[in-house]
Amino acid sequence: MSAHNADAVARRWCELLDCSIAGSDHVQVLNAHRVTVRVGDSQVEILQPEGDGYVQDHLAFGRGGPLSIGVSTDDMDGMRRHLSSLGIHGLEIGEQLFLHESALGIAGLSVVITPHVTRESVGLMKNLYEATHLVADAPKAIADIARVFALDAAAFVPIHSDNFGYDGALTLFDASELHRVETIHPFDKQKTMGRFFERFGPSLYMCYGETDDLGGVRERLQALAPGDWTGSDEDNDGLFIHPKALGGVMLGVSRTSHAWTWSGYPERRVPLPGE
């Protein structure tokens, strides 16, 4: 994500979600100061521009917040060869590969690919499993994601919401896991998502994560950001943390396994006691 003050945003993530800061460095090819925060078993990289480059451009456009998604692989060399065969070349950041949307060829979607590392969960979150990607032509973008990342499109889950005004698909990277890009077209311009799309065009909109302690997340928000989240004490399945609280990122939080309800395998949802 991009931010005007990466250190301050990192501290806020830690305050609200009991995260930990893994470190900071300078990313030369992006001309940015980076602070890496451990969120559950995932990581969030917060980038502050130090001059011209993609990060500064992102902030100057007025979005801030989600700049790219992060995915991991056990075979970085194989991934580089595959991408090269498609004519896709990124920017090297140590062991990582940054693919700006202009290189990837998928409007609104930039990606950081990192060698896979298994981590213990840190803080109140268990993981981050989804990024929401808004596009004008969802079928084309979904097919491009399958092609670029060599995914099985048969495992993707169609998704539609009249309530939020969108349709598209969950591009499951592995049918046994929730990890995916939610690539959707916001067709209702009167809804919040539709208004966002009218203003910013193809872009990343929000992300989602799981928690084993929804009550603990709610208590922190009530104490530290009472006006910057949506949910209730009666909702045992999830809540939303507003962009203002997390430096420009909207974060949906669902209790562990509940997201399978709308992800193609509702039988994987673990019932609450007494259900």
- Considering the domain architecture, whether residues 93 and 27 belong to the same structural domain is answered as yes
- Considering the domain architecture, whether residues 173 and 111 belong to the same structural domain is answered as no
Cα gap 166→81, rounded to integer Å: 35
Does residue 10 lie in a domain region?
Answer: yes
Does residue 241 lie in a domain region?
Answer: yes
Residue 36 binned pLDDT confidence (cut-offs 50, 70, 90)? very high
pLDDT for 157 equals 98
Last residue of a domain, one of 115, 137, 171: 115
Does residue 248 lie in a domain region?
Answer: yes
Q: What is the pLDDT of residues 184-232, one digit of tens each?
A: 999 999 999 999 999 999 999 999 999 999 999 999 999 999 999 999 9
Residue 76 is given by DSSP the state: H
- Considering the domain architecture, whether residues 130 and 255 belong to the same structural domain is answered as yes
Structural domain boundaries enclosing 137:
125-268
- Considering the domain architecture, whether residues 29 and 138 belong to the same structural domain is answered as no
Taking residues 89-107, what's their average pLDDT?
97
Whether 53 contacts 76, CB under 8 Å: no
Single pTM value for the model = 0.96
Taking residues 153-180, what's their average pLDDT?
96
* Domain tally, the chain: 2
- Considering the domain architecture, whether residues 78 and 143 belong to the same structural domain is answered as no
Q: Which two tokens stand for residue 225?
A: 């950001």
Evaluate if residue 234 carries a pLDDT over 90.
Answer: no
- Considering the domain architecture, whether residues 90 and 174 belong to the same structural domain is answered as no
- Considering the domain architecture, whether residues 27 and 107 belong to the same structural domain is answered as yes
- Considering the domain architecture, whether residues 233 and 129 belong to the same structural domain is answered as yes
Evaluate if residue 63 carries a pLDDT over 80.
Answer: no
Does residue 143 lie in a domain region?
Answer: yes
- Considering the domain architecture, whether residues 43 and 147 belong to the same structural domain is answered as no
Rg (CA), the chain: 18
Last residue of a domain, one of 88, 115, 142: 115
Does residue 58 lie in a domain region?
Answer: yes
pLDDT for 57 equals 95
- Considering the domain architecture, whether residues 152 and 196 belong to the same structural domain is answered as yes
Does residue 1 lie in a domain region?
Answer: no
| Phi then psi dihedrals of residue 94, to 5 deg | 60, -125
- Considering the domain architecture, whether residues 80 and 156 belong to the same structural domain is answered as no
- Considering the domain architecture, whether residues 107 and 139 belong to the same structural domain is answered as no
Does residue 275 lie in a domain region?
Answer: no
Last residue of a domain, one of 90, 115, 140: 115
What is the domain-level CATH number for residue 100? Answer: 3.10.180.10
What b-and-e string marks burial along 168-199, b requiring 16 or more CB atoms within 10 Å of the CB? bbbbbbeeeebbbbbbbbbbbeebebbebbee
pLDDT for 64 equals 84
Q: What is the pLDDT of residues 107-128, one digit of tens each?
A: 999 999 999 999 999 999 999 9
Does residue 273 lie in a domain region?
Answer: no
The partner residues of 167 in beta bridges, in order of sequence, read 160, 185
